[in-house]
Amino acid sequence: MRHPGVLLLLVALVLATIPLLAAAWRPWPPTAARNATAPGASALGASKKFEGSSELVKLQYHMGPVLSGTITVHPIWYGAWPAAQKRTIRAFLRSLSPSPAEAARIPPPTVSAWWRTVRLYTDQTAANVSAAVALGREKSDARMSRGARLSRLDIQAVVRDAVAARTRPLPADSGAAYLVLTAPDVAVQDFCGQACGFHYFTFPSVVGYTLPYAWVGNSARRCPEVCAYPFAVPAYVPSRRPQAPPNGDVGVDGMVSVIAHELAELASNPLANAWYAGSDPSFPTEIADLCEGIYGTGGGGAYTGQLLTDARSGASYNVNGAGGRKFLVQWVWDPVLSYCSGPNALDHQ
């Protein structure tokens, strides 16, 4: 029998570690922007993680696995989710690995071409991140059984509730990805202030299994200027206008890019011991962190890079998906080219 004091110490260490591990991402570079004395890209300051920053990046492999089998993504809808918003997110997930017939109907640049960069990452068995990404079963908790304010550890409890449900539980699969999506009225620890999304893996002591999972929140009512940029812009940058979202929903279109970011990192670093830069595994810089804020050629700092514009709606996007959908997703680090890359890059056209 374990000593109670030892158990309390272990719990304290776990709780202290959660906010750091695979700690998340926010698309707007906040520090330099808030301290800017004049508007404009140069005044906002460029992040060191800019396009072509190979001399600054020490991305390393740490001998852990990548998700090399079929990656089944199980969405967990926490809070009230309108059907239209669910359809947009499902369409993006289906676009990562469409059927051959569907893929033939999607014009370039495509979501699946964006995922090809993620697929370049391998583990010590020489297995690549899987090309097959499937939309799995879904679970809804519209009543918010864990409340409207969640800690990071509560997110794991939401996953546990989904896999342990009495009716239609989600399967427990260590090669799957559990995607906890919180509605606009749900507050999550560090949401908006430090995080728009994060990924990690569940603790057997909490969930019963070690399962890779990610959380992404809908920022529409809380901080769209932080987590849904460039579809919303901070008030302290009066010279910049928000760009029109490709699916007409600032919160959900902003979420899509964060979902893409977190899935790319989850697939290449599912147990926080595979691909990341930096010497501290409790605070990794991962393959999407290296390209924060870059959506097109020339991107970096406060500039998204060159995007595409929908001729009918005027919306900004950079990839096409299933069912005629368009999305804006952040680029990821290409380990072969050693710079940030996306299918809409001008040198790809």
DSSP string spanning 298-329? T-BTTB----EE-TTT--EESEE-GGG-EE--
Tens of pLDDT, residue by residue, the chain (349 residues): 433 333 333 334 444 444 444 544 455 543 333 333 222 232 223 333 333 444 556 899 999 999 999 999 999 999 999 999 999 999 999 999 999 999 999 999 999 999 999 999 999 999 999 999 999 999 999 999 999 999 999 999 999 999 999 999 999 999 999 999 999 999 999 999 889 999 999 999 999 999 999 999 999 999 999 999 999 998 888 788 999 999 999 999 999 999 999 999 999 999 999 999 987 777 889 999 999 999 999 998 778 999 999 999 999 999 999 999 999 999 999 999 999 999 999 987 6
Pick from 331, 324, 321, 270: nearest CA to 298: 331
**How far, in Å, CA of 93 to CA of 102, rounded?**
13
Element (H, E) at 252: helix 250-268
Which residues, 6 or more positions from 323, have their beta carbon under 8 angstroms from its beta carbon? 91, 94
Element (H, E) at 212: strand 212-217
Check: CB of residue 245 under 8 Å from CB of residue 231: yes
**How far, in Å, CA of 302 to CA of 42, rounded?**
8
Which residues, 6 or more positions from 66, have their beta carbon under 8 angstroms from its beta carbon? 121, 122, 123, 127, 128, 129, 267, 268, 269, 270, 274, 275
Element (H, E) at 86: helix 83-95
Amino acid at 94: R
**How far, in Å, CA of 124 to CA of 127, rounded?**
7
Looking at residue 22, what is its pLDDT?
Answer: 52
Q: Is 256 helix (H, G, I), strand (E, B) or coil?
A: helix
Q: Is 150 helix (H, G, I), strand (E, B) or coil?
A: strand
**How far, in Å, CA of 292 to CA of 332, rounded?**
8
* Residue written as token pair 């080219």: 337
Check: CB of residue 233 under 8 Å from CB of residue 44: no
Each domain of the chain, given as residue ranges in start order, spans 22-348
Q: Is 343 helix (H, G, I), strand (E, B) or coil?
A: coil
Pick from 180, 332, 333, 204: nearest CA to 271: 204
Task: Report pTM.
Answer: 0.87
Looking at residue 349, what is its pLDDT?
Answer: 60
* Residue written as token pair 């947009």: 88
Residues in a beta bridge with 191: 195
**How far, in Å, CA of 70 to CA of 157, rounded?**
25
**How far, in Å, CA of 255 to CA of 252, rounded?**
5
Phi, psi of 181 (to 5 degrees): -115, 115
Check: CB of residue 70 under 8 Å from CB of residue 176: no
